[in-house]
Amino acid sequence: MNFIFSVFISIGLGILIYLSFQTKCSSNDDCPGQQICLGDKCL
């Protein structure tokens, strides 16, 4: 059961990371967490 649960967590984190890299930003405030805006990407 724990294995399946950890797989779902891994997939969820992967999607979140992917979406955060797809985020277009105009300032650091547009980025989630402590990420900085570089060009139009959150890093």
pLDDT for the residue numbered 26: 77
Structure tokens at 28: 């650091």
pLDDT for the residue numbered 17: 77
CB 39 within 8 Å of CB 25 = no
Give mean pLDDT in consecutive 10-residue pieces for the chain, a chain of 43 residues.
90 81 74 81 78
Is pTM beyond 0.75? Reply is no
Residue 37 phi, psi (nearest 5): -90, 120
Strands (E), 1-43: 37-38, 41-42
pLDDT for the residue numbered 40: 76
Per domain, the residue ranges of the chain are 2-42
